[in-house]
Amino acid sequence: MTNLRAGLVGLGMMGRHHARVLRSLDGVDLVGVSDPAGDPHKVAGDLTVHPDVDALIGVGLDYCVVATPTAYHEEIGLALASAGVHALIEKPLSKDSEGSAKLAAAFQAAGLVGAVGHIERYNPALQSLRARLIDGELGDIYQIITRRQGPFPARIADVGVVKDLATHDIDLTAWVVGSPYVSVAARTVHKSGREHEDLVAVTGQLADGTVTSHLVNWLSPMKERVTIVTGDRGAYIADTLHADLTFHANGSIPTAWDDLAQFRGVSEGDVVRYAIAKPEPLRTEHEAFRDAILGKETDIVTMQQGLATVEVAEAVLASAADGSTVRLPH
């Protein structure tokens, strides 16, 4: 079978990793790259660095990965859809819900596979967690808490922490439970002198009643990527920096100490740290997208799902702007 011909738009920090994976992916040939700023990380090899997406399309592509700043996603994505090229567009899908809706509609109308690069879905810890939740191992789910904190990434200039980082947490939360957001209430701050917000705290609720809480910022000297799911039988902690998954079970042994026994809640039980396979999330994402193009059953982040995430992010910003609780259709 002939290999799929893949292209890449954007040769920055994320683009170089896409190029590396595309070059090593079974059944795929990286045949063209494009970036008007050139090739700062020297990833093109013997390929010509085309000045724009139209020139890249001329090489003849089956699909293309878009790893440009968010502001250019809509224009580039629509050009690819018009040319009949499948596309994996880095998250967020577009800078706003209007552009995201145009992209989703264009790829659907053309009968093309369009996906969004929400890489956290492919983190081994979250993949294992979701499978366990689907199997009912936690019982009823009560709450999901995420913390995504770290130093400011100077390469991000066109969006704030909500659309850059918090979209990870919005997407993975709705996905891991399988339920959309129905409301959010948020607060943001601007501390780094930039146009966009650099810290957000969000409280939300999903359609199934699950309560959510997200703390996301670019102001912390330590890096943290944690998802905690609490339910009827205990709590899972997914550390996505190290791809570790730990389960804290509710205790089943009666408490003999009278002072503790007066507390009518749960007690500490066994703690299990799971041994799970840890493939690279970016490779897993690429394999899923390749298989979707080939018509195989696989789990990609669809553009419709990417649109829903952008809509929640906009609701978060709207809530922070006026202090309201914003409700979302579902």
pLDDT at 255: 55
- 96 with 159, same domain? no
Please indicate, yes or no, whether residues 92 and 152 belong to a single structural domain of this protein. Answer: no
| pLDDT of 107 above 70 | yes
| pLDDT on residue 259 | 58
For residue 108, is it within any domain? yes
pLDDT (tens digit, 9 = 90+) per residue, 177-227? 999 999 999 999 998 888 889 999 999 999 999 999 999 999 999 999 999
The number of distinct structural domains making up the chain is 2
> In which band, very low, low, confident or very high, does the pLDDT at 21 lie, cut at 50, 70 and 90?
very high
CB 276 within 8 A of CB 124: yes
pLDDT digits (tens, 9 = 90+) for 217-265: 999 999 999 999 999 999 999 999 999 999 999 876 555 555 555 555 5
So what's the pLDDT on residue 70?
Answer: 93
> How many Cβ atoms are within 10 Å of 139's Cβ, its own excluded?
12
Given a contact cutoff of 8 angstroms between Cβ atoms, the answer to whether 169 and 229 are in contact is no
> Does the residue 148 lie in any domain?
yes
β-strands 141-149, 63-66: how paired? unpaired
* Domain-terminating residue out of 112, 139, 160: 112
Same domain membership, residue 66 and residue 15? yes
For residues 83 and 125, membership in a common domain is answered with no
Supply the range of the domain harboring residue 77.
Answer: 4-112
CATH number, residue 264: 3.30.360.10
d(CA 24, CA 28): 8
- How many Cα atoms occupy the beta-carbon half-sphere of 138 within 13 Å? 25
> Which string of b and e fits 206-216 if b means at least 16 CB within 10 Å?
beeebebbbbb
Same domain, 259 and 155: yes
Asked if 147 and 185 sit in the same domain, the reply is yes
My answer on whether 68 and 162 are in the same domain is no
* DSSP calls for 129-174: HHHHHHTTTT-SEEEEEEEEE----TT--SS-HIIIIIHHHHHHHH
Q: Are residues 10 and 82 in the same domain?
A: yes
Identify the domain boundary among 54, 78, 112: 112
Would residue 289 count as lying in a domain? no
Pair 125, 243: CB distance under 8 Å: yes
Instruction: Give the number of other Cβ atoms within 10 Å of residue 114's Cβ.
Output: 28
Query: Residue 56 belongs to a domain with what CATH number?
Result: 3.40.50.720
Indicate whether 269 and 134 sit together in one domain. Answer: yes
Q: What is the mean pLDDT of residues 318-327?
A: 97
Predicted confidence (pLDDT) per residue in 50-93, tens digit: 999 999 999 999 999 999 999 999 999 999 999 999 999 999 99
Q: Is there a domain that residue 292 lies in?
A: no
Phi first, then psi, for residue 74 (nearest 5°) are -65, -50
